[in-house]
A and B are shown apart, each in its own frame.
Chain A
């Protein structure tokens, strides 16, 4: 190896020289480079010569490898650039040089043709595929009537309706009565009016579809309105609602005025209704300190003690009102508690102001306060525990973040404490009203929400919430990151998605399977699938068809054998004779008749009598005879061994013909006790008429036989069934020209239909 390398190194220069020389040889070409003697407009393709061989005249090459002999244009351009007067030309050249592209060598004719052919094939295939659906439909149709009148496929499917004459039928009294009874028994589903109105008209399939689409559009609009309303209700902006309310009120007032003018009584009722609504709203005490008056008072209360008192008085009224209601409710609830409550009633002090009531008012705040403290304590404990525990373990990233969050929240909470102390008195007034709370929150810049406020009694819950929060934060971060990533991803994945969507949403109309019915999965299918999995049928299905058939044949034969065996086992001649017989009380023929019979008859009768005597004795003779017969029959079917020796008892030498088998040993050992001998194999003359292979669409004998099991003749079926079973697959109307199918037969896509309409309209005008 090393020596080789050395050699290589040594020969480097000479090697290069050699190469260049060889190249020169190769460059030699008999066809000369065309020289332009006259200005030519047309470039003859036969003058195109291998550029490589002629030296790198190609611009592309010249740029990279300026040959010594040939002058490269770029080099010229570079030279020119320096000259200012020609700078423009050089820049122009540069531009064109950048823009232009050298055309690739045209493909050889064979390949080009092939490509063209393949493209043409694909396009025509695509074009023709629109027929696939209707072709498969017609192929599978039970019956085709030519000429096909696909353009007039009415929904009723009634051919007579086109004329309109046959629509009218005289109804006899009987028919009318029958119809009445039918209508009574099976009341018709009322059709939608839209359809009903036009039922007189004849609707083609297309028109029907159009109509359906219109209905769908209406429904969509309706649902759109509904969602719009719902969304409007969800808007949280107060300003919006205020404005809306005002507008509504204005509207209502307008309507009310109008009503007043038209129908004063109704207007009065309306007024009452409005009043009632207002009262109800007022009564529910939502407005005890949110009204403008209360708000003003609150502001004044800082400076004016009277105002404070007034507010308190107002609140007191509210309290009293609520208390009364509570009492009433408790009264109604339980009478047994009365003695306890009486005690309280006795105490006048407790009457005015209940300690419980106080709790009610401040309860919310106090609770909140206590819980906060408790949470703080619990948190501290937890932190301590955490510090202890986290030493051995590796802190997970999530945990870290959570811990950080907890600390943050801790600092926030300390802030809260301060603000709480400041707003203490105000909170006492506020009680638990949501609106005010949210206002306060906004004032103080609290970020913490009411998650912690009333519901959480356990510190553990609080902690859980904290964890949840941490998780949320993580999720948020992830989301934001994802958002950043998404646009990038989308640019990559969008086209695919689109394609998928189109695939999902729009089934390919041209696909022949589009018109096929989707078969619903049934229980039987599952069973079948299971069976296949469990049985060795699966193996069978993989086998080649001939082997499958062989297996089936084997099975059929075994079935037959087992059937025969079954009969053999069951029936023993001696056993069958012991079947109990019923006695029929038949009369005995007159014996006197014997007197006037002839001699012959007498003899037969005597024989009969003898037989009846014989029957009293053993019947074995007949049975044994039959058994012997059976055995002989069975032995015939046994494999016989030929003990004939070639040439024995005949002349030796060439050309001896084999004698018919003379010495045949029947195997007498096997004894069968059958009472019945049945020749089940089809005899030769019948075999002539039997089929000896399974015809095409079938792969198993069983299926073929099943398909042939029912007769289709008139003698075995009702006439309606017979006509159905022997229906012609194609009917051609005599005397009509059957034209090739036109594009009218295709189900139109939407834009195609539009086009057609557009085309039709001007003609109609």
Chain B
């Protein structure tokens, strides 16, 4: 036994030695010969397709001059390069939005806010809170960077605050009914639609303006790139106010007698109005009294409406208990249609297309599952409030949904609803005062004129076909010769003018004559040359009177 043990020990020792050697060796070799996995830099089609700018290919044969052919070819290459670079830069967006995942036998809808709060970090948990307020159903609005919040109760309570740090900017009662609140281009100003007029306040609660031209406003919308404040009033009028210069851009009555639902499409800055006739109409301040488009969405009054963050999708809900998703580029058919058990009063679409429906006092959240054409929405979270919900809005760049209710305000956690990667040049939730000022200047410089608001934003690149056609029709195809122009004698002209015209004509004629003379000269020279050649070949002496000589018969 001992022997065997000894042997074993020896073996072990040997083995150890061997192993250690081997280990060392492997360690070294691992370092040296590690199978290298380099990510290929070639991009796949689906990656590129995401960033492509349409497939307008220039027909080279129809471009004039080789120089421009070359230039446009280079330009096309650069376009392609831009697409590739954009696709490559995608790896830099490493922040990804997570979402709730249920174990077997569980469903995400079972999770309450308390459950979620317990399982998230403290900062996130702090973002979920509730305010019990007494001044009636509340309208809420977040700034575009998602940092600031203004709430307005129907009974006149108005409060603006940094909802993350809970720092209150101002809080007061306007002693008037508040219909709607909206932040203007910065967190320093907001507009409030009160019973009579629209008032502007700064974040200290000082009233800056009272816009009396906007009266009895029900709904407010702010177009950040155009600096336009749009309002839909109780008497059915649509009004646009340029905030940067303080002038009304357009005001005209809409199709409806009363506007209760109005949203703006962030993609093309059109205003859409949902009516009791089930119609959604699109308006631009540039086209008066005539909608850009009207679409019959529901056969019942429309109760709620929301665009997604890039304005490519529109969700509508009606009294017929239907929720429809539309592609805003073509309203041929709803993309999908959902039947609900009760009437939906509010819809919100997040940056990641998480849809929230407010049904009475319940808030239901749906997430899209799947990619490409096989997308379907799945029930994600359920939340109930004490009282009926008056307005909901997702916080940009946060996983938070703000809910304004009859009894106050509450913000709830909805994991995976916000965009994780924010472009600080566009919107920065953490921007400083300096950056805010720079942003304001930049935004003002890049203000888009209201004329350009159309359904198809790319129309600005197009050629005005009708005008072009007119031009072409007007243009005489055959140029009239000078002689004919001379025939027309204009009667009423001053002597000086006539003299000038005559001079010009003479000059022209002279040129013509000169040309003709030159040509004649040329012909003559040619003739002479010919004659000379003939003379060289012909030995006979030529004379002027040669033609009288008798011709020799050939």
User: Closest residue to B250 on the A side, CB-wise?
Assistant: A685
Looking at the assembled complex, report how far the CB atom of A103 sits from the nearest CB atom of chain B, in whole angstroms: 14
Task: Give per-residue flags for A163-191: 1 if the beta carbon is below 8 A from chain B beta carbons, else 0.
Answer: 00000000000000000010011000000
Taking each of B81, B458, B477, which has the highest tally of chain A beta carbons within 10 Å of its own beta carbon? B81
List the 5 shortest-distance A-B pairs measured between CB atoms, nearest first. A589-B360, A706-B56, A721-B82, A697-B68, A619-B299
Q: Which of A556-590 contact B (CB under 8 A)?
A: 556-557, 567, 570-571, 573, 576-577, 579-590
Select which of B319, B361, B549 is within 8 A of A593 by beta carbon.
Answer: B361
Residues of B within 8 A of A680 (CB): 456
The yes or no answer to A254 lying at the interface (CB within 8 A) is no
The yes or no answer to B75 lying at the interface (CB within 8 A) is yes
Which of B158-166, B197-205, B332-340 is the contact stretch? B332-340
Which of B188-196, B226-234, B289-297, B394-402 is the contact stretch? B289-297
Residues of B within 8 A of A573 (CB): 296
Which of A117-125, A330-338, A403-411, A687-695 is the contact stretch? A687-695
Looking at the assembled complex, report how far the CB atom of A389 sits from the nearest CB atom of chain B, in whole angstroms: 56
Select which of A589, A687, A720 is within 8 A of B388 by beta carbon.
Answer: A589
Say yes or no: A586 contacts B63, CB within 8 Å.
no
The yes or no answer to B62 lying at the interface (CB within 8 A) is yes
The yes or no answer to B403 lying at the interface (CB within 8 A) is no
The yes or no answer to B428 lying at the interface (CB within 8 A) is no
The yes or no answer to A611 lying at the interface (CB within 8 A) is yes
The yes or no answer to A698 lying at the interface (CB within 8 A) is yes
Residues of B within 8 A of A708 (CB): 461
The yes or no answer to A715 lying at the interface (CB within 8 A) is yes
The yes or no answer to A501 lying at the interface (CB within 8 A) is no
User: Closest residue to B255 on the A side, CB-wise?
Assistant: A629
Looking at the assembled complex, report how far the CB atom of B38 sits from the nearest CB atom of chain A, in whole angstroms: 6
The yes or no answer to A717 lying at the interface (CB within 8 A) is yes
**Extra pairs beyond A622-B300, A692-B463, A697-B64 (13, CB < 8 Å):** A570-B333, A573-B296, A576-B334, A580-B337, A588-B342, A597-B388, A684-B286, A687-B464, A691-B464, A698-B64, A709-B54, A715-B426, A721-B86
Say yes or no: B320 contacts A615, CB within 8 Å.
yes
The yes or no answer to B482 lying at the interface (CB within 8 A) is no
Say yes or no: A577 contacts B539, CB within 8 Å.
no
The yes or no answer to A606 lying at the interface (CB within 8 A) is no
Select which of B72, B454, B475 is within 8 A of A546 by beta carbon.
Answer: B475
Taking each of A544, A577, A679, A680, which has the highest tally of chain B beta carbons within 10 Å of its own beta carbon? A679
Taking each of B376, B451, B464, which has the highest tally of chain A beta carbons within 10 Å of its own beta carbon? B464
Residues of B within 8 A of A720 (CB): 85
Residues of A within 8 A of B550 (CB): 8, 12, 15
Which of A18-26, A272-280, A732-740 is the contact stretch? A18-26
Task: Give per-residue flags for B44-82: 1 if the beta carbon is below 8 A from chain A beta carbons, else 0.
Answer: 000000000110111101111101111110110011011
* Complex Cα–Cα for A366 and B462 (A): 96
Say yes or no: B279 contacts A626, CB within 8 Å.
yes
Taking each of A623, A681, A685, which has the highest tally of chain B beta carbons within 10 Å of its own beta carbon? A685
Say yes or no: A623 contacts B463, CB within 8 Å.
no
User: Closest residue to A180 on the B side, CB-wise?
Assistant: B32
The yes or no answer to B387 lying at the interface (CB within 8 A) is yes
Residues of A within 8 A of B360 (CB): 588-590, 593
Which of B414-422, B485-493, B540-548 is the contact stretch? B540-548
Task: Give per-residue flags for A613-626: 1 if the beta carbon is below 8 A from chain B beta carbons, else 0.
Answer: 01100010011011
Interface size class of B (residues with CB under 8 A): 35 or more
Say yes or no: A697 contacts B65, CB within 8 Å.
yes
The yes or no answer to A210 lying at the interface (CB within 8 A) is no
The answer to whether residues A623 and B296 also contact, given A583-B339, A682-B454 and a CB cut-off of 8 A, is yes
Which of B114-122, B431-439, B466-474, B502-510 is the contact stretch? B466-474
* Complex Cα–Cα for A590 and B386 (A): 10
Residues of A within 8 A of B549 (CB): 19
Say yes or no: B341 contacts A586, CB within 8 Å.
yes
The yes or no answer to B525 lying at the interface (CB within 8 A) is yes
Residues of B within 8 A of A556 (CB): 465
The yes or no answer to A64 lying at the interface (CB within 8 A) is yes
Select which of B294, B343, B359, B464 is within 8 A of A692 by beta carbon.
Answer: B464
The yes or no answer to B459 lying at the interface (CB within 8 A) is yes
The yes or no answer to B278 lying at the interface (CB within 8 A) is yes
Say yes or no: B465 contacts A704, CB within 8 Å.
no
* Complex Cα–Cα for A686 and B344 (A): 37
Residues of A within 8 A of B56 (CB): 702, 705-707, 709
* Complex Cα–Cα for A588 and B321 (A): 12
The answer to whether residues A718 and B58 also contact, given A589-B342, A612-B321, A686-B454 and a CB cut-off of 8 A, is no
Give the A interface residue count (CB, 8 A).
Answer: 104
The yes or no answer to A701 lying at the interface (CB within 8 A) is yes
Looking at the assembled complex, report how far the CB atom of B45 sits from the nearest CB atom of chain A, in whole angstroms: 18
Task: Give per-residue flags for B253-288: 1 if the beta carbon is below 8 A from chain A beta carbons, else 0.
Answer: 001000000000000000000000111000010110
Task: Give per-residue flags for B69-109: 1 if the beta carbon is below 8 A from chain A beta carbons, else 0.
Answer: 11110110011011001101100000000000000000000
Residues of B within 8 A of A714 (CB): 425
Task: Give per-residue flags for A588-611: 1 if the beta carbon is below 8 A from chain B beta carbons, else 0.
Answer: 111001000100010000001001
Residues of B within 8 A of A249 (CB): none
The yes or no answer to B357 lying at the interface (CB within 8 A) is yes
Say yes or no: A689 contacts B299, CB within 8 Å.
no
* Complex Cα–Cα for A56 and B85 (A): 91
* Complex Cα–Cα for A677 and B255 (A): 13
Q: Which of A87-126 contact B (CB under 8 A)?
A: 111
Looking at the assembled complex, report how far the CB atom of B12 sits from the nearest CB atom of chain A, in whole angstroms: 38
Looking at the assembled complex, report how far the CB atom of B85 sits from the nearest CB atom of chain A, in whole angstroms: 4
The yes or no answer to B238 lying at the interface (CB within 8 A) is no
Taking each of B342, B455, B465, which has the highest tally of chain A beta carbons within 10 Å of its own beta carbon? B465
Residues of A within 8 A of B320 (CB): 615, 619
The yes or no answer to A52 lying at the interface (CB within 8 A) is yes
Looking at the assembled complex, report how far the CB atom of A214 sits from the nearest CB atom of chain B, in whole angstroms: 35
The yes or no answer to A10 lying at the interface (CB within 8 A) is no
The yes or no answer to B323 lying at the interface (CB within 8 A) is yes
The yes or no answer to A142 lying at the interface (CB within 8 A) is yes
Residues of A within 8 A of B78 (CB): 721, 724-725
Looking at the assembled complex, report how far the CB atom of A744 sits from the nearest CB atom of chain B, in whole angstroms: 26
Say yes or no: A587 contacts B359, CB within 8 Å.
yes
* Complex Cα–Cα for A214 and B376 (A): 71
Q: Which of B309-341 contact A (CB under 8 A)?
A: 319-323, 330-334, 336-341
Looking at the assembled complex, report how far the CB atom of A543 sits from the nearest CB atom of chain B, in whole angstroms: 11
* Complex Cα–Cα for A625 and B300 (A): 12
Taking each of A22, A553, A678, A720, which has the highest tally of chain B beta carbons within 10 Å of its own beta carbon? A678
Say yes or no: A700 contacts B62, CB within 8 Å.
yes
The yes or no answer to B352 lying at the interface (CB within 8 A) is no
* Complex Cα–Cα for A701 and B333 (A): 31
The answer to whether residues A724 and B467 also contact, given A111-B525, A703-B59, A709-B461 and a CB cut-off of 8 A, is no
Say yes or no: B70 contacts A678, CB within 8 Å.
no
Residues of B within 8 A of A293 (CB): none
Q: Which of A45-73 contact B (CB under 8 A)?
A: 52, 56, 61, 64-65
User: Closest residue to B322 on the A side, CB-wise?
Assistant: A581
Select which of B293, B366, B458, B460 is within 8 A of A679 by beta carbon.
Answer: B293
The yes or no answer to A699 lying at the interface (CB within 8 A) is yes
Q: Which of B169-212 contact A (CB under 8 A)?
A: none
Looking at the assembled complex, report how far the CB atom of A65 sits from the nearest CB atom of chain B, in whole angstroms: 8
Residues of A within 8 A of B379 (CB): 584-585
* Complex Cα–Cα for A309 and B553 (A): 100
Looking at the assembled complex, report how far the CB atom of B159 sits from the nearest CB atom of chain A, in whole angstroms: 23
Say yes or no: B86 contacts A717, CB within 8 Å.
yes
* Complex Cα–Cα for A588 and B301 (A): 20
* Complex Cα–Cα for A8 and B553 (A): 14
